[in-house]
């Protein structure tokens, strides 16, 4: 008999005897650091909104990783940044409140970007949150060679020392590699995903840092974000694609209504979704709608596909573009738009 099965059996035995753990973790880092992509890779399904534009994550979206030994609830926060508007200030408050409440904080630093003032600003703020264990996650490792990666690992370790604390762990990951491996070894369900992407390893390292607790969510739940908010985020993500640089921060989406279409045969259900895309100025309307309405139509087609995948039902999506004048600066409008 080979040694390996015995070792595996022993590990399994230990896992069976170990107390179950459950708790919250959040990923922080500069915009575009790869936080949402990492959340999705850990959960194994698209729950957080990703885009190659900074600051796309506005709502706190939780992804839930179910494992034999632990349940990890991931809270995805917006990036911390210098506030220029009322919205910016509120977002930063959300971030700090989240940090103080979670069991583990993962600081994400892209492997291909020099550790800069933005990262130092965030880590300095993190150093102030003494009791929460902090893990440094070097993301996007597929974009660099081993020498560059080693330098980044050293840089982040030194930054911790400079600021007077020690990282609980420093882990390099690649969500892209993990995704490529996903077909062979899913991370969710525990046990899989220990390949070159190292996303499963990250979950292994976070799990022991969580408090002893039975699962907090039923197995199979991947997120507790209300469906309407998730749907709105999927539409906003599609609306952000390919628009001019100044526009992303001006787009908000509110789902007004989600109702099953009446008198449909039981095997052919249809969900009617009415949503408004809000922009700040009338001049932005043309950009969103596009020539002969083509852009808006594309936004509808694209987001509908994602929504149908999320909800598991065919959808009729009715999109309207509305102007909410200077909504980012107006407290009343912000409340109405869900901030």
Ligand X SMILES: Nc1nc2c(ncn2[C@@H]2O[C@H](COP(=O)(O)OP(=O)(O)OP(=O)(O)O)[C@@H](O)[C@H]2O)c(=O)[nH]1
Tell me the number of residues near ligand X by CB under 6 A.
23
Contact call for residue 146 and ligand X (CB under 6 A): no
Q: Residue 332 corresponds to which tokens in the numbers above? A: 């009343």
Binds ligand X (CB under 6 A): choice among 23, 44, 63, 79 = 79
Contact call for residue 140 and ligand X (CB under 6 A): yes
Q: Residue 104 corresponds to which tokens in the numbers above? A: 């583990």
Part in contact with ligand X (CB under 6 A); list of ranges 50-58, 125-133, 265-273, 322-330: 50-58
Contact call for residue 174 and ligand X (CB under 6 A): yes
Contact call for residue 44 and ligand X (CB under 6 A): no
Pair 102, 26: CB distance under 8 Å = yes
Contact call for residue 56 and ligand X (CB under 6 A): yes
Alpha-carbon dihedral 115, 119, 125, 131, rounded to 10 degrees = -60
Residue closer to ligand X (CB basis): 113 or 213: 113
Contact call for residue 36 and ligand X (CB under 6 A): yes
Binds ligand X (CB under 6 A): choice among 23, 34, 172, 200 = 34
Contact call for residue 37 and ligand X (CB under 6 A): yes
Contact call for residue 118 and ligand X (CB under 6 A): no
**What is the smallest separation between the CB atom of 20 and ligand X, expressed in angstroms?**
29
**What is the smallest separation between the CB atom of 48 and ligand X, expressed in angstroms?**
7
Contact call for residue 143 and ligand X (CB under 6 A): yes
Q: In the chain, at which residue ranges do the beta strands (DSSP E only) sit?
A: 21-28, 61-66, 70-76, 104-110, 134-139, 169-172, 252-260, 271-279, 315-323
Pair 108, 137: CB distance under 8 Å = yes
What is the enclosing helix (H) or strand (E) of 68? none
Which residues neighbour 182 within 8 Å (Cβ) at sequence distance 6 or greater? 41, 44, 193
Longest dimension (CA), the chain: 74
Part in contact with ligand X (CB under 6 A); list of ranges 150-158, 170-178, 272-280, 307-315: 170-178
Contact call for residue 25 and ligand X (CB under 6 A): no
Part in contact with ligand X (CB under 6 A); list of ranges 55-63, 162-170, 231-239, 293-301: 55-63
**What is the smallest separation between the CB atom of 111 and ligand X, expressed in angstroms?**
9
CA dihedral (248, 249, 250, 252) positive or negative: positive
Burial of 202 (0-12, 13-18, 19+ CB in 10 A): buried
Contact call for residue 157 and ligand X (CB under 6 A): no
**What is the smallest separation between the CB atom of 121 and ligand X, expressed in angstroms?**
14
Distance CA 47, CA 44 (A): 9
Can you name the residues that pair with 273 across neighbouring β-strands? Answer: 258, 317
Contact call for residue 337 and ligand X (CB under 6 A): no
Residues that bind ligand X (CB under 6 A): 29, 31-37, 50-52, 54-57, 79, 139-140, 142-143, 174-176
């Amino acid at each position: 008999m080979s040694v390996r099965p015995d070792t595996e059996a022993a590990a399994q035995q230990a896992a069976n005897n170990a107390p179950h753990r459950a708790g919250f973790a959040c990923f922080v880092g500069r915009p575009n650091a790869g936080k949402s992509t990492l959340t999705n890779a850990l959960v194994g399904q698209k729950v957080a909104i990703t885009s190659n534009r900074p600051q796309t994550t506005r709502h706190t979206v939780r992804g839930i990783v179910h494992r034999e030994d632990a349940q990890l609830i991931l809270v995805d926060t917006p990036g911390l940044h210098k506030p220029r508007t009322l919205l910016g200030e509120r977002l930063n408050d959300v971030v700090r409140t989240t940090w103080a409440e979670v069991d583990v904080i993962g600081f994400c630093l892209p492997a291909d970007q020099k550790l800069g003032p933005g990262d130092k600003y965030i880590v300095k703020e993190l150093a102030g949150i003494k009791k929460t264990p902090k893990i440094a996650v070097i993301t996007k490792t597929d974009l660099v060679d081993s020498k560059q990666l080693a330098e980044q690992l050293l840089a982040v370790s030194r930054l911790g020392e400079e600021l007077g604390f020690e990282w609980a762990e420093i882990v390099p990951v690649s969500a892209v590699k993990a995704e490529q491996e996903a077909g062979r070894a899913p991370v969710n369900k525990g046990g899989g995903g220990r390949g070159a992407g190292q996303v499963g390893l990250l979950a292994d390292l976070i799990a022991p840092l969580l408090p002893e607790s039975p699962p907090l969510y039923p197995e199979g739940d991947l997120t507790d974000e209300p469906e309407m908010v998730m749907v709105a985020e999927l539409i906003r993500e599609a609306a952000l694609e390919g628009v001019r640089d100044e526009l992303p921060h001006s787009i908000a989406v509110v789902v007004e209504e989600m109702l099953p279409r009446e008198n449909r045969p039981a095997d052919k259900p249809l969900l009617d979704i009415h949503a408004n895309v809000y922009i700040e100025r009338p001049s932005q309307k043309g950009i969103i709608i596009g020539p002969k309405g083509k852009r808006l139509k594309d936004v509808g087609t694209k987001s509908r596909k994602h929504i149908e995948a999320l909800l598991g039902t065919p959808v009729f999506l009715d999109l309207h573009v509305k102007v909410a004048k200077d909504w980012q600066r107006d407290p009343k409008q912000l409340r109405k738009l869900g901030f």
